[in-house]
Structure 1
Amino acid sequence: MSLYAKPGVETACLTLQDEAGLDVCEVLFHCWLYSSGLEAIPAALAREREQRRLWQCNVTAVLRGLRRDLKAMAATSESVKALRSTIKQAELMAERENLQRWQMWALEAPSNEERVVNVAEKTSDASKWLRKQLLINPYDGFSEDCLKQPPTWLKSLQTLTCQLDPHQGAR
């Protein structure tokens, strides 16, 4: 996704992953939906979110853990450095696969199952929309109340939304 290459987006995504416990692939998925004028239906999203969470836990996180565990040894061993590089590529491939699965889920729904809906008009506050998609739903522990004292990672959401809609800062 070209969004990830835009200034500040990678750092924002990693902050949301590390500080808010969000899945970067799901964050990017919702950004793609927003850009496409779509929104996931919450009940359908909850079912797929569990499938994607399992992929992240059983595949991506395992690879990430291996890569991080080898960091110190890679500083003194060329062979471990090469192994770590290979694991990093596998981790990126696992994330790419997860992103593709999110996209296929949205685009290839059976005719009797609605997963996403067209949004008639994009909200004037993309940050609030994205926050709602990722954090405020009956399936997680976040609520509007917890956002009255906003955590520092909300700035990362703002960075993302400014890249999604460059006019956000001017409104």
Structure 2
Amino acid sequence: MHTDLWKHALALYERPGVETACLDVQAMGGDVCLLLCATWLQAREVAFSEQRAQALRAIAEPWQTAVVEPLRHLRQQWRTPAQHDPLLATLRAQVKGLELQAEQTLLERLQNCAKQWPTGASETASDWLHRLAPEQARGHDALNTLRVAAAGLQDAEEDG
């Protein structure tokens, strides 16, 4: 199992269907970094508590609003014009790189928040993914895709 949240996120994001599922949940108002963190916490068997969830949200929400979302908006705004302007396409690629760095920074901050929480909790009923997803995503196929992919990743890492 990846002890590093960034490595976990990269490995999970590469699994079939995960990118689409993340984008679907993001379109419903979900924070992909929080969802990836949720799968990491679940894999590490960290017991859920509302206090812990609030601590993660307190880190994620301001960073998403002030840093990630403006970069994403600019990148998306430039999608069509960049198809006809090579210089703008280069700038758009740089903005995409900054957006990825901002998400990596957020994942590092979430990991730092959670690193002192005990792992290996026998309580398996807590579902971090369900509890950190937006209300409208709960029960959606995208969330199930993430859950299945995360379980598959965990199985693959335990067998490897």
Please give the range of the TM-score, normalised by the shorter of the 2 chains: 0.7 to 0.9
Name the larger-Rg structure: 1
CA distance in 1 between partners of 2:145 and 2:110 (Å): 22
The structure, 1 or 2, with the larger RCO (C-alpha pairs under 8 Å, 6+ apart) is 2
SS in structure 1 of the partner of residue 127 of structure 2: helix
Distance 1:47 1:131, change over 3 A: closer
Instruction: State which of 121, 137, 153 in structure 1 corresponds to 2:142.
Output: 153
Aligned to 2:4: none
The counterpart of 2:32, out of the listed 13, 24, 33, is 24
TM-score, length basis structure 2: 0.77
% of aligned pairs identical? 30
Give the match's secondary structure for 2:47. strand
Aligned pairs for 1:81-160 within 5 A? 81-107=89-115, 109=116, 116-121=117-122, 123=124, 129-135=127-133, 142=135, 150-160=139-149
Aligned partners of 2:93 and 2:148: how far apart in 1?
29
Given that residues 13 and 24 in structure 1 are in contact (C-alpha distance below 8 angstroms), is that contact kept between their aligned partners in structure 2?
A: yes
Question: d(CA) in 2 for partners of 1:133 and 1:101?
Answer: 19
Which protein is richer in helix relative to its size?
Answer: 2
- Equivalent position to 1:57, from 62, 65, 81: 65
Matched residue count: 147
1:29-80 deviation line (CA, Å, top 9, x unaligned): 1111111121343113213302311100110000000000001110100000
Q: State whether residues 45 and 120 of structure 2, in contact with CA within 8 Å, keep that contact through their aligned partners in structure 1.
A: yes
CA distance in structure 1 between the partners assigned to 2:46 and 2:58 by the alignment: 20
The residue type equivalent to 2:25 in the other structure is: L
Q: Distance in 2 between matches of 1:24 and 1:95?
A: 9
Of the three residues 83, 89, 101, the one matched with 1:75 is 83
